[in-house]
Amino acid sequence: MRKVSSLLLLAVVIFSACNQNTFKKGKDNLEYKIVADGSGPKIEYGNYMQIHFATYYNTGTKDSLLNDSRTSGAPAIEMLDSISTPASYFEVLKNLRKGDSVVFRILSDSAFKKMPDQMPPFIKKGHYLLTTVKVLNIFSSKEQADSARQASMILQQKTDSINAIAQLVKDDKTLTDYLAKNKIKAIKGEKGTYVEILQPGTGPNVDTSVVVKTNYTGRTLDGTMFDSNTDPSKGHVEPFNVNMTNNPALGQGVILGWKDGLKLLNKGAKAKFYIPSSLGYGPTGAGGAIGPNANLVFDIEVVDIMNKEQALAAAQAQAKKMQEMQKHYMDSVSKSRNISVDSLKK
Task: Give the mean pLDDT of 156-161.
Answer: 79
Tell me, what's the pLDDT at 315? Answer: 79
Are residue 91 and residue 197 in the same domain, yes or no?
A: no
Tell me, what's the pLDDT at 343? Answer: 54
Q: Residue 94: name the closest of 14, 32, 147 by CA.
A: 32
Are residue 187 and residue 288 in the same domain, yes or no?
A: yes
Are residue 177 and residue 213 in the same domain, yes or no?
A: yes
- Report the CATH number at residue 119: 3.10.50.40
Instruction: Report the C-alpha gap between 217 and 122 in whole angstroms.
Output: 33
With respect to residue 146, please indicate whether it lies within any of the assigned structural domains.
no
Please say whether the beta carbons of 314 and 304 come within 8 A. no
Instruction: Report the C-alpha gap between 53 and 102 in whole angstroms.
Output: 10
With respect to residue 105, please indicate whether it lies within any of the assigned structural domains.
yes
Counting Cβ atoms within 10 Å, is residue 318 exposed (0-12), middle (13-18) or buried (19+)? middle
Are residue 83 and residue 131 in the same domain, yes or no?
A: yes
Are residue 12 and residue 120 in the same domain, yes or no?
A: yes
With respect to residue 287, please indicate whether it lies within any of the assigned structural domains.
yes
How many folded domains does the chain comprise? 2
Are residue 124 and residue 7 in the same domain, yes or no?
A: yes
Are residue 107 and residue 10 in the same domain, yes or no?
A: yes
Domain with 104, as residue range(s), is 2-140
Task: Give the mean pLDDT of 208-224.
Answer: 95
Query: What digits encode the pLDDT tens for the residues 226-252?
Result: 999 999 998 888 899 999 998 888 888
Are residue 136 and residue 235 in the same domain, yes or no?
A: no
Tell me, what's the pLDDT at 65? Answer: 87
Task: Give the mean pLDDT of 1-5.
Answer: 36
Are residue 22 and residue 136 in the same domain, yes or no?
A: yes
Q: What is the pTM of this model?
A: 0.59
- DSSP secondary structure code for residue 284 in this structure: G
Task: Give the mean pLDDT of 129-148.
Answer: 94
Tell me, what's the pLDDT at 328? Answer: 67
DSSP H stretches of helix in the chain: 2-20, 69-72, 87-93, 108-111, 142-181, 256-262, 308-345
Tell me, what's the pLDDT at 60? Answer: 82
